[in-house]
Amino acid sequence: MASINDNYLKLKAGYLFPEIGRRVKQFTEANPSAKVIRMGIGDVTRPLTPTIIKAFHEGVEEMAHFSSFKGYGPEQGYDFLREAIAEYDYKARGANISADDIFISDGSKCDTGNIQEIFGSENIVALGDPVYPVYADTTVMSGKTGDSDETGYFEGIVYMPCTEENGFVPQLPKEKVDLIFLCFPNNPTGAVATASELKIWVDYALENKCIIFFDAAYQAFITDPAIPRTIYEIEGAEKCAIEFRSFSKTAGFTGTRCAFTVIPEGVMAFDKAGNPHKVKLLWNRRHTTKFNGVSYPVQKAAAAIYTPEGKKETDEVIAYYLENAQIMRDRLHEAGYVVFGGINAPYVWIKTKNDMKSWDFFDKLLHDANVVGTPGSGFGPSGEGYFRFSAFADRENVIEAMERIKNLK
Ligand SMILES: *Cc1c(COP(=O)(O)O)cnc(C)c1O
């Protein structure tokens, strides 16, 4: 008899975005003439830039000829890409990361979920509330929790509230924890962490032999030079932090798929007898066993992001989205909302008026303004009463959506 991994039964039925999709579909079927503006899901809208596309095409062309054809590549990624990353994302910022610490993959969603399997089920996981839902769900799938209660909290996960009071940057947990997910710039709140805030976490992790999973998917949106773009700018992080990066939001690769995980030599986890093991070697074992590498043309395209023209073009796209965020911030503020995020981040996070529930605001916005956003409560119970707008939209649509929201009764 086939039995299932019953951790899956603990999961909540609906992932947030399918539920949004269901409600939007229902509305558009009933109102076929409504011009719905989608600012919900965090997906980019601008195409890949010319330099990236050129490299992508060249990579495809190489596959067409006997002399340049490529079969399986290294599972960890091609050296040309790993070296460009080490050089421009890390060494240039004073972070001592080598190409060998970098594992190219097809996405940070998979990496943040897959990393769970190399850590034992007795680990206590801490995560922000609200945050990217993948961390909690994959913690459950990997057997590190009990059941969830009626508010949606799982037994065994330490939730760290991210609220207006703490500026949406979580405080150290009172309980002892082992694995800590941090996401900055944050999805969904758009909050960023300063070097001194990150230093508190790194010191805590070193002292308690914890590992920080640092999701920096939105680092490209940081324009303030004082805000760290990688956790390895913080002293000691190379001994306790794993960093997840993705080209999805950085360069429009959500449909092209390329990301990477950084695990420096010094990051250790312990066996039952208390002996240290290099996490990098465990991840290398997993990655090379279960993954066969990202396609060559895609890695060629990703490497083009690091050329001077590629960098200039992607910076322009990021600037476009950030300008959207600024327009949204201004207009939502004028419309009487309390507004957070949207600076150094592509998400604008607002408080609903009169403590309206997140899903009620979602329905009102959809029905009365034909605008789709994301209910804050979908990212964790502390997101109740908040709402996320994504700046990954066309300028025209952003302006139109904000106008409609201003006129909401
Ligand atoms: C979009 C996003 C990612 C990137 O996921 P990919 O699988 O690389 O597309 C990772 N983390 C967060 C918080 C995100 O919002």
CA of 217 relative to ligand 1 center, distance in Å: 6
Whether residues 144 and 280 share a domain: the answer is yes
Whether residues 216 and 67 share a domain: the answer is yes
Residue to probe by mutation, ligand 1, list 132, 243, 392, most atoms within 8 Å of CB: 132
Whether residues 147 and 235 share a domain: the answer is yes
Choose the final residue of a domain: 306, 338, 357: 306
CA of 141 relative to ligand 1 center, distance in Å: 18
Asked if 212 and 242 count as a contact pair (C-beta separation under 8 A), the reply is yes
Whether residues 351 and 202 share a domain: the answer is no
CA of 218 relative to ligand 1 center, distance in Å: 8
How many domains are contained in the chain? 2
- pTM exceeding 0.75: yes
Look up residue 296 and give its amino acid: Y
One pLDDT digit (tens) per residue for the chain, 409 residues: 999 999 999 997 667 888 899 999 999 999 999 999 999 878 999 999 999 999 999 999 999 999 999 999 999 999 999 999 999 999 999 999 999 999 999 999 999 999 999 999 999 999 999 999 999 999 999 999 999 998 889 999 999 999 999 999 999 999 999 999 999 999 999 999 999 999 999 999 999 999 999 999 999 999 999 999 999 999 999 999 999 999 999 999 999 999 999 999 999 999 999 999 999 999 999 999 999 999 999 999 999 999 999 999 999 999 999 999 999 999 999 999 999 999 999 999 999 999 999 999 999 999 999 999 999 999 999 999 999 999 999 999 999 999 999 999 8
Residue 8 inside a domain? The answer is no
Answer whether 183 contacts ligand 1 (Cβ < 6 A). yes
Whether residues 226 and 282 share a domain: the answer is yes
How far, in Å, are 1, 71, 118, 125, 380 from residue 160 at the CA level? 40, 45, 23, 11, 10
Residue 372 inside a domain? The answer is yes
Whether residues 58 and 144 share a domain: the answer is yes
Asked if 111 and 261 count as a contact pair (C-beta separation under 8 A), the reply is yes
In 3D space, the residue among 378, 335, 382, 386 whose CA is nearest the CA of residue 357 turns out to be 386
By CB atoms closer than 10 A (0-12, 13-18, 19+), residue 128 is buried
CA of 43 relative to ligand 1 center, distance in Å: 9
Answer whether 186 contacts ligand 1 (Cβ < 6 A). no
Whether residues 267 and 335 share a domain: the answer is no
Choose the final residue of a domain: 241, 272, 306: 306
Whether residues 369 and 355 share a domain: the answer is yes
Reported as half-sphere exposure (CB side, CA atoms, 13 A), residue 6 has a value of 4
By CB atoms closer than 10 A (0-12, 13-18, 19+), residue 194 is middle
Supply the range of the domain harboring residue 336: 14-43+309-406
Whether residues 297 and 357 share a domain: the answer is no
- What percent of the chain is helix, strand and coil (3-state, nearest 5)? 45, 15, 40
Choose the final residue of a domain: 249, 271, 306: 306
Whether residues 240 and 96 share a domain: the answer is yes
Residue 234 inside a domain? The answer is yes
In 3D space, the residue among 267, 252, 202, 204 whose CA is nearest the CA of residue 230 turns out to be 202
Beta bridge partners of 349: 340, 388
Alpha-carbon distance of 362 to 348, in angstroms, equals 15
Residue 210 inside a domain? The answer is yes
By CB atoms closer than 10 A (0-12, 13-18, 19+), residue 271 is exposed
The H or E element spanning position 372 is strand 371-372
Reported as half-sphere exposure (CB side, CA atoms, 13 A), residue 200 has a value of 10
Whether residues 216 and 282 share a domain: the answer is yes
Residue 379 inside a domain? The answer is yes
Whether residues 74 and 36 share a domain: the answer is no
Residue 317 inside a domain? The answer is yes
Which atom of ligand 1 is the closest one to the Cα of 109? 7
Answer whether 215 contacts ligand 1 (Cβ < 6 A). yes
Asked if 144 and 116 count as a contact pair (C-beta separation under 8 A), the reply is yes
Q: CA-based Rg of the chain, rounded to a whole angstrom?
A: 21
Residue 167 inside a domain? The answer is yes
* CATH number of the CATH domain containing 375: 3.90.1150.10
Nearest-CA residue for atom 15 of ligand 1: 187
